[in-house]
């Protein structure tokens, strides 16, 4: 029920911020590569979605 600190110590805590940075950068690079490689046709189809209503 109550809230406990399960570990007494943690080693190599500095790895946590590094994990977050690496994870983010990986996602970012992948997304950028995708966005740049997406075909113009798809993009124009997508960006016109809000305007294409009847």
Partner 1 sequence: MELEKFSYDNRIPKLFAIATITWGVVGMLAGVIAAFQLAFPALNLGIEYTTFGRLRPVHTNAVIFAFVGNAIFTAVYYSLPRLLKTPMWNNTLSKIHFWGWQLIIVAAAITLLAGYTTSKEYAELEWPIDIAITVIWVIFGVNMMGTILTRRERHLYVAIWFYLASWVTVAMLHIVNSFELPYSALKSYSWFAGVQDALVQWWYGHNAVAFFLTTPFLGMMYYFLPKAANRPIYSYRLSIIHFWSLIFIYIWAGPHHLLYTALPEWAQALGTTLSLMLLLPSWGGMLNGLFTLRGAWDKVREDPVLKFIVVAVICYGMATFEGPMLSLKNVNAISHYSDWTVAHVHIGALGWNGFLTFGMLYWLLPRLFNTKLYSTKLATTHFLIGTLGIILYAVPMYWAAFRTYFMMSAFTPEGQLQYQFIDVVQSMVPFYALRGIGGTIYLIGVLLMVYNLIKTAKSGKFVAREEASAAPLTKTYTAPKKAHWHSLIERKPVMLLVLSFIAVAIGGLVEMVPTFLVKENVPTIASVKPYTPLELHGRDIYIKEGCNNCHTQMIRPFRYEVARYGDYSKAGEFVYDFPHLWGSKRTGPDLARIGGKYPDSWHFNHMLEPTSMAPGSVMPPYPWLFEKELNIGSTNSKIHAMRKLGVPYEKGYEAQAVADLKKQAQKISDNLAKEKIKIPSDREIVALIAYLQRLGTDIKASKISGK
Residues 9-38 as x/- pattern, contact with partner 1 by CB under 8 A: xx--xx-xx-xxx-xx--xx--xx-xxxxx
CA separation for the pair 17, 14 (Å, rounded): 6
Side-chain half-sphere CA neighbours of 31 within 13 A = 6
The conformation of residue 14, written as its DSSP 8-state character, comes to T
User: Cα separation of 1 and 20, whole Å?
Assistant: 30
Closest contact distance (angstroms) between CB of 45 and partner 1 is 7
- Please report whether residue 7 would count as binding partner 1 according to CB under 8 A: yes
- Which spans of this chain sit near partner 1 (rule: CB under 8 A)? 1-10, 13-14, 16-17, 19-21, 23-24, 27-28, 31-32, 34-39, 42-51, 53-54
């Amino acid at each position: 029920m109550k809230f406990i600190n399960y570990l007494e110590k943690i080693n190599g805590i500095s790895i946590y911020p590094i994990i977050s940075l690496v994870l983010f950068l990986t996602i970012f690079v992948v997304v950028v590569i995708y966005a740049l490689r997406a075909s113009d046709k798809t993009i124009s189809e997508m960006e016109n979605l809000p305007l294409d209503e009847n």
